[in-house]
A and B are shown apart, each in its own frame.
Chain A
């Protein structure tokens, strides 16, 4: 689909003259409470409460904080205090309430950690180069393919999911070290 969109975006304006016009759609659309949380076993619960705003509302874009929100965290049905540390298997319910923007809640079960038995990776360097350019922060570049083999225990009886966070940036202080 991305292919198509790009292709037509390049082509259509050349043939069919079009234009755009700024407007307000006038849809009745009110801000609602927005609740985000990151729960990791063994770490404190992180909760962020904000509100949505209409896309073209510049004020909302600049300030979408909620100053009257009350957040409650329940673990296995019991209200938790600030000292609570989630454990694997806990069922956590988070409730946020605001007089202005209503309420939002979510419930999740802390997944069990899946042990990683082995990680094996083999980089294949394709090219590397260094140069000097005072306008650029990056003064070196390396291209490589990385083959990664990950060995985990995925029980077929467990309904779970995995997130592979593949990211990284090589920023050696000494370009010669690349």
Chain B
């Protein structure tokens, strides 16, 4: 049985197994530490181990695992190399380590064929994939972040070719793509909205994360449905050794996680997170309200995350699980104004926003035979958002009272039922075949707005004509990761899809090909081609990532979005594997992109939502450079990207090509992880990139005043994204101090307090002269938290 605790220090491991295949235990260690295992393919065949370790150093766990065997290990950078020791005989094992099933002693031999635990754990020089990254939960936690919350999105934002979007936004833009072109999955099931608080926090609670797999250049055939990147977040399972947990309290949020056994074969794991921002805002609101007797404001925001998972091991071949994720945000704000004289006038406005995700899934992992395993999944995922504006007016003139109430409500929902089967087959050492198929029943409600106005005895209610769109999607894929000789590795695959909506069926063909040629032990070159298709997209009306950004399916005369991407790269690692250098280039062509057309807001509000859209194309190209130090107490990387991205729509910008919003020409990321001692770790991230693009209306004209009410200045239309915001840069620092019971974390977001520009406003100065103003946000933000482990 395999048991993984929900937490571990870097290089500390919690694992408890009894008579389990050693390869399974290595997978657990990989997930907790982010280390890689490299070993001969036959080394661990039939090797079973028993080990019981709770938060133990990695070396001690490895020593315990292989004690009494002829297997030795050597740590080289982030790789742990296993090989046979020169032993004459196998001695009996000490009492502390239960007996192992040890293969017959064999003469030591040279490493030729090696096996890695998963596709992303091998050194970059030895795979065929380009732009792939795996991060363990602990590596993500080691990243400093705003308000003390480490974050998956921010961790990915340090990778070359990945932009963090607007200041403070927990979103990513990959190779000039839009935020909706990234597929985020929780245990292989899509989540549509992954941001809390307009993007300040992502929906992934790091307490619940085992590891993430991220692909941004070459895409495995398994993944499709987005144009720019794929992120699969894998959650932790419970522990069989006992009940373990962690409680974290910080200045702005808290989290609690616990896991443990239920009987001998079942485990549970629960993690919950909630901020205190609503408590922080209370005194601020009170101070604001104390300045005026008649004018009041109210504001309250909160969110919560819940991750739960129950895992049951039926036998050595079958493991099933049920998991649930629920993320919920609500924002309430309002204002009250009152004028009292002989005439009493009162106005009350209430704004309520509510959005979130619900994901429930059940899965079965079944090993059909040693070389073939299957994963069956059934899931329901739902994104919901609603906005409501409630306006009340009261006029009391000498006892003659008139009242009116107006309510406007907008809903946006997506519900998916997903059924999928994925297979993993290793017919021989030269081929690794993955194949599978799935069916998804979508239900889209892109936007439904209702308005209700009541005054006196009169009530007027309207509701727009948008209906829920059901859609059927079928996917299938197959890929073979082939080793051709000792130097060449090729991954060839295909992803096909059918998307049926409103009586139309769209066909998506997605060939994938990547190849890596290892010119020497430490140097390789790679190239890849991928075609991806996207049937749903998000419409952004503002610069920020907001819950009102509607997810809509491809409908009407629009065609599915697609992208063709070619990539090439070269990878070099030093002989001691301490340093890895990579250079990757990409060129991407985007087809049938969908966006709002110019002056879309002039369309009648009750018109169908897709009447405001238009279709276009885009392109992106660039080069990503990275130097990474993967071993030693001092690690990290320096990454630089040079990129271009543009868009062309016949009905936008007069048909002229314009730069994409996240056309960040230069991006530099520096990440430093310094393990000062076993107790103290310092992390730093410096990010700098060319500013995001922004449409700044610089010219104004005077209305002629021909008709009543038509007067004053009006802005003149300007080329889209004509202005680049100032260069963005920021330093985040984090200090972690561990003790026997847990650890303290001190973090500084924007450590040198350079407030970055998020937008530009046309405003007035104190003398009411027209001026342009930069809007800056997020100064130095210190935070402190303590995590107690039990």
Which A residues contact B (CB, under 8 angstroms)? 1-8, 10-11, 14-25, 27, 29, 31-32, 34, 36, 38, 46, 48, 50-58, 61, 64, 124, 126-133, 141, 143, 145, 165, 167
Contact B772 A55 (CB under 8 A): yes
A130 to B399, CA, bound (A): 11
Q: Which of A6, A17, A127 contacts B402 (CB 8 A)?
A: A127
Contact A124 B715 (CB under 8 A): no
Residues facing A in B337-393 (CB within 8 A) are 341-343, 349, 351, 353, 387-389
A11 to B544, CA, bound (A): 15
Q: Which of B277, B457, B696 contacts A25 (CB 8 A)?
A: B696
Contact A7 B331 (CB under 8 A): yes
Chain A residues whose C-beta falls within 8 Å of the C-beta of B343 in the assembled complex: 129, 131, 133, 141
Contact A56 B772 (CB under 8 A): yes
Tally B residues with Cβ within 8 Å of A.
Answer: 80
Q: Quote the shortest CB–CB distance from B705 to chain A (angstroms).
A: 8
Stretch at the interface among B111-119, B121-129, B522-530, B706-714: B706-714
Chain A residues whose C-beta falls within 8 Å of the C-beta of B331 in the assembled complex: 7-8, 11
Other than the given A36-B703, A141-B395, 12 more pairs (CB < 8 A) read A11-B301, A18-B775, A22-B773, A29-B699, A32-B699, A46-B706, A48-B704, A52-B716, A53-B701, A56-B769, A127-B456, A131-B343
Stretch at the interface among B41-49, B573-581, B754-762: B754-762
Contact A124 B458 (CB under 8 A): yes
Chain A residues whose C-beta falls within 8 Å of the C-beta of B778 in the assembled complex: 16-18
Contact A143 B402 (CB under 8 A): yes
A23 to B307, CA, bound (A): 46
Stretch at the interface among B280-288, B472-480, B491-499, B512-520: B280-288
Contact B776 A20 (CB under 8 A): yes
A102 to B771, CA, bound (A): 26
Residues facing A in B271-300 (CB within 8 A) are 277, 280-281, 284-285, 288, 297, 299
A109 to B715, CA, bound (A): 26
Question: Nearest 6 pairs between A and B by C-beta?
Answer: A129-B397, A127-B402, A7-B351, A36-B704, A38-B706, A48-B704
- Is B702 among interface residues, defined by CB-CB distance under 8 A? yes
Contact A53 B700 (CB under 8 A): yes
Q: Which of B281, B704, B763 contacts A14 (CB 8 A)?
A: B281
Contact B706 A167 (CB under 8 A): no
Residues facing A in B544-558 (CB within 8 A) are 544, 546, 548
A22 to B774, CA, bound (A): 6
Residues facing A in B317-349 (CB within 8 A) are 331, 333-335, 341-343, 349
Chain B residues whose C-beta falls within 8 Å of the C-beta of A3 in the assembled complex: 351, 353, 387-389, 408, 410
Contact B333 A7 (CB under 8 A): yes
- Is B698 among interface residues, defined by CB-CB distance under 8 A? yes
Q: Quote the shortest CB–CB distance from B287 to chain A (angstroms).
A: 10
Contact B761 A20 (CB under 8 A): yes
- Known interface pairs A16-B168, A23-B773, A25-B723; A126-B455 also in contact (CB < 8 Å): yes
Chain A residues whose C-beta falls within 8 Å of the C-beta of B281 in the assembled complex: 11, 14-15
